[in-house]
Structure 1
Amino acid sequence: MPTGTWGGSRFGYGGTALAYNPANNSLFMVGHDWDQMVAEASIPDPVLASNVSELPTSTVLQPFTDVTEGMMSSVGNGNIKVGGLLPFNNKLFGAVYVYYDADGSQKLSHFSSSFALSQIGDAQGMYQVGDGMNVKAGYVSGYMTQIPQEWQSSLGGPAITGNCCIPIVSRTSSGPAALIFNPEDLGKVSPAPTIPLVYYPYEHPLGPWGESISPSNPYFNGTTQIKGVVFPKGTRSLLFLGGSGLGEWCYGTGGITGECYDPIYGSKGNHAYPYANQVFAYDVLELLQVKNGTKKPWEVKPYQTWQFILPFQTEGDLVVKGAAYDPNTQRMFISHKNADNPLVIHVFKVTIPPDLEQDTIPPTPPQNLNLTIIPNG
């Protein structure tokens, strides 16, 4: 992504809430973490390169602006972050969360706007999604994705919203969360209804918050992050992208000399160096059992997780900042944390074996899904 300031922010320390815009073959994303502003950028033809300087540079189509027109501050006190963006029916929908919602009081989370980011008066919100009790704002105020057409009828809606692993574990999901909702319900039904597919309340975490990842605890601890969700068409896999610390879990100050050895993160908090980018894959047929009431949302587990390393990343770091998906070309986009250096967007191709038929038999890992970087030309 280009360097420098574009409107009210820059791409450095940004790349969250990544979303694909089919109207422009472009990407929406949030810029610098301090600003929480949204921009739109082009998608140049990707190349394989050994150095970031050899990559093509995106063109800024719309500079950074507060797409909520100041409304995000109404959801609570303190630091407010844009958790997710979703282009849907020629509108841009979004979700925000209070970063440190100590008393779990946030109720409102979602908004809508036109695709014209700087247009004044088109933002609408904030809206409550979910009942606020079983489904708290900390479960729904993050990443979003559309559901493939072939699954919308059986799942009961056109889109997924979720959030995970944000501060104050009692108000968020302790593991990937996905709830069906219809963005068009915002402003028409209050609160906008949801259909749970998976989430993990404080009483039923995917794994112990204060333990290391191990064969007996393979999925989750206090370092786990979920930054995006993708539902590739032609599959029955719901993919959450993020990662976890794989080393010994420790709570305290990181760094080389802190009580928790962690050369990546020096702040006080959860540590488990080294870290790894991961995909958490769920079988949609099992999620349907939750939707149909035969399983609880916390009773389903990933059928598989995969670790992956992105080009140019620091060894032992977790660099996934966001994920987006283009169903027309089967491209998946992953934004790569790169501090104040140029933000990098990786492009992958979702490939499905030509002889694969959609069936009702539970998958055997790694389940008919290959991701390969798209070469230029």
Structure 2
Amino acid sequence: MKQTKRFQSFWSMSLVLVTIFFLLIFSCQSDDDDDNASTATPTSSADATATPTPGEPTPTMTAVTDPDLLRPADLQYLGAFRLPGGDTPPQTFAYGGNAMTFNPDGDPSNSDAFPGSLFITGHNRMPYGDLPDGSQVAEVSIPEPVVTSNPTTLPQGTFIQNFSNALQGYFTEMDEIPKTGIQYLNHSATGPKIHVCWGQHIQPPDVASHAWFNATLATPDVQGTWFIGNQNMYSVNGYMFDIPAAWADAYAHGRYLATGRMRDGGQGGMGPALFAYRPWLDDGSAPPSGTRLSESVLLRYENSNATEDIIRNMNGYQHPDEWEGGAWILTPSGKTTVLFAGTKSNGAKYWYGYINPLGPEYPCVDADVTDFTTCRMADGTPCPPEDFDGCCEDGVDCVSYRGWWSTRFDAQLKFFNPSDLAQVASGALESWKPQPYAELDIDQYLYLNPPASELIDAGWGAQRRYRIGAAAYDRNHGYLYVLELLADEAKPVVHVWSVGS
């Protein structure tokens, strides 16, 4: 059972064999936005009156002087672990891992060095009735991670709460390549809730994207759905994490949740977007469904729908970039950063089209697409004219799915200064001006071995896409959890870092 576009193969087995053949041949080639403008429809404002190992990482771009900023060298890799369960959808982690959050209140009987638990989503929903009850949520324990070259020998978590279709009947308009984020938050006003954002690859413009449900999955009692102000729907519903309360009270009107998305092609912004929000009223109750929640803009780059130029973007931005997870890091010793996890396009060229069977250095654009620049150099300028000729026709002799490709992808963590985001929230800094002060390539820790049937979608070698997914952070103990997709056959594995001291 495969997932639409991401992990769903409609091609015949013969095409898969052709793909593997090419792989073998070429593997050696190597605002706060104005609260009044964002208030509810209906007439509720949700927060109008807020109450306050092996090897060392190689850091880059670390020429910063603030001693409180977390550096890449502060991350120590501890290893990884497998997820439990079988392979039968929808109750499987295979082709899942779209969203993950840490639960500090989970697994209370555990006494080892890794307390708490993780909520993780399973096999994605699929459209046209193929798997309408996908994207179920389960809670798993956290075993002590180990370092091994073979993912089948990793320790395995156990189910604390088995899969639940907690969002049954919700977000049903968005089941084609879903984009989801979840965040556990046990706030005194609401009790323990799992907050959720939901979108899809081709985003409907007027469908609300956020909700919450109970952490006891057997009685989810979903509340919502809501919009994030009037923000572009491609910029709000891909990942979520919590904001340290003191920072949120000081700079974001007590909005303790961060939400955002980065869609390939720059349609939600040419870099990761981030907004702070709070989805409950002063008495802790949920606002009416359809409310446009007030938000604080923390990070928002230029949208490619507004301009063909690569401007007001994150440094080094390329259209195939995918940022799938994030975490607001605050270590027990006080070091801090806002971290985004994703698959970064670092190619000399990138294009909209297919993998070229001649090798990763050669583009293969979709020659039928002419309404935007389909091939660019690393600096954002158009490719030479000969690169726009294309090399295949969809379904005839293409060796991959169509999409944004690059001569090279890397799994990376990007580090942003929370002080920059505070200036954006106050209006002192344009939302596109914050830039990452550091980055960390984590490919050396990944397995990067997807099932053969997924190569036509995920790619291979330097052109492997979808390397990592959601992230989660244990703020009390300083552990960062990052999902590697398609690492244990079709299942993700969880990689673990100790963060700071």
Bin the TM-score by the shorter chain: 0.7 to 0.9
> What whole-Å deviation, never above 9, does each CA across 1:230-275 have from its counterpart, x for those lacking one?
111123411111122222212212252597369xx82111110321
Aligned pair 1:10/2:92, yes or no? yes
Letter in 1 for 2:447: F
Matches of 1:139 and 1:85, distance apart in 2: 15
Determine the structure 1 residue equivalent to 2:440.
306
8 Å contact from structure 2 (residues 241, 259) kept in 1: yes
Question: Please, which of 333, 340, 363 is the counterpart of residue 260 of structure 1?
Answer: 363
Aligned pair 1:330/2:478, yes or no? yes
Matches of 1:184 and 1:178, distance apart in 2: 19
8 Å contact from structure 1 (residues 17, 30) kept in 2: yes
> CA, structure 1 residues 26+217, in 2 after alignment: closer, same or farther (shift >3 Å)?
closer
Determine the structure 2 residue equivalent to 1:173.
269
8 Å contact from structure 1 (residues 173, 205) kept in 2: no
Matches of 1:208 and 1:226, distance apart in 2: 21
Aligned pair 1:94/2:196, yes or no? yes
8 Å contact from structure 2 (residues 270, 304) kept in 1: no
Superposed counterparts of 1:17-36, under 5 Å: 17-24=99-106, 25-33=116-124, 34=126, 35-36=134-135
Determine the structure 1 residue equivalent to 2:338.
238
Matches of 1:332 and 1:347, distance apart in 2: 6
SS at match of 1:36: coil
Aligned pair 1:138/2:234, yes or no? yes
Determine the structure 2 residue equivalent to 1:162.
260
Matches of 2:234 and 2:122, distance apart in 1: 22
> What whole-Å deviation, never above 9, does each CA across 1:24-61 have from its counterpart, x for those lacking one?
11111111234222221111111122211221011122
Matches of 2:321 and 2:100, distance apart in 1: 19
Matches of 2:97 and 2:423, distance apart in 1: 34
Report the CA distance between 1:325 and its aligned residue. Answer: 0.3
Determine the structure 1 residue equivalent to 2:228.
129
8 Å contact from structure 2 (residues 119, 138) kept in 1: yes
Matches of 2:364 and 2:193, distance apart in 1: 45
Report the CA distance between 1:98 and its aligned residue. Answer: 2.9
In the superposition, the TM-score normalised over structure 2's length comes to 0.61
8 Å contact from structure 1 (residues 174, 201) kept in 2: yes
Question: Please, which of 153, 171, 195 is the counterpart of residue 249 of structure 2?
Answer: 153
Matches of 2:241 and 2:314, distance apart in 1: 28
User: Among the aligned pairs, what percent are the same residue?
Assistant: 25
Question: Please, which of 151, 155, 171 is the counterpart of residue 72 of structure 1?
Answer: 171
Greater relative CO, 1 or 2 (CA 8 Å, sep 6+): 2
Question: Please, which of 273, 283, 287 is the counterpart of residue 407 of structure 2?
Answer: 273
RMSD: 2.9
